[in-house]
Amino acid sequence: MQSRIRICYGLSFLAALIFFLVSPAIAATFQLSGRVTNQSGSPVAGAEVAVIDPATSTTVTSATSDANGNYAITVDEGTYDIKVTPPTGSGFGESVSPGQVIGGDTNLDFVLVPAGSVTLSGKVLDANGNGVPNQQVQLYGSGISLNDV
């Protein structure tokens, strides 16, 4: 009888030990959610929101924004880079929010802007700093359109 009691105590101790050793290894999970919109506040549907491990640059998990621009992702506690990739052909550029600390449910909204929109202005000068009239300026690269030159 006493050997059975010792076995029961031994098994109980072993179960408790395993529980306490495994419990810290179980990471807390939280909800990362938000909305993806354009500059005028309209939703951007079909954007991929990726949670990236900054140490390895690998995507941990991702979700796609719905018709209202909303997304929701369950993610382990930690620090991540969050990258939004717009739908192909939308004309928007990517957006990255680096070093986001997820330690609780987190709301993170993104506003996408047109890709590669820049304004270039300046003057053509000679070696003495004088303006040179009637000069043609050319830009090279893929996807470049010149509206005003």
What is the value of pTM for the model shown? 0.63
By the 8 A CB rule, do 115 and 43 touch? Answer: no
Please provide the distance, in angstroms rounded to a whole number, between the alpha carbons at the two ends of the chain: 97
Give the mean pLDDT of 131-141.
74
Tell me the pLDDT band of 80, cut-offs 50, 70 and 90.
very high
| pLDDT for res 4 | 63
DSSP 99-128: EEEESS-EE--EEE-BTT--------B-TT
pLDDT tens digits for 48-71? 999 999 999 999 999 999 999 999
By the 8 A CB rule, do 100 and 108 touch? Answer: yes
Tell me the domains of the chain and their CATH numbers.
26-112 (2.60.40.10)
pLDDT top residue among 45 and 140: 45
Measured over the CA atoms of residue 84, residue 96, residue 53 and residue 100, the dihedral's sign is: negative
| CA distances, 129 to each of 38, 45, 133 (Å) | 42, 50, 13
pLDDT top residue among 122 and 67: 67
By the 8 A CB rule, do 137 and 111 touch? Answer: no
By the 8 A CB rule, do 56 and 79 touch? Answer: no
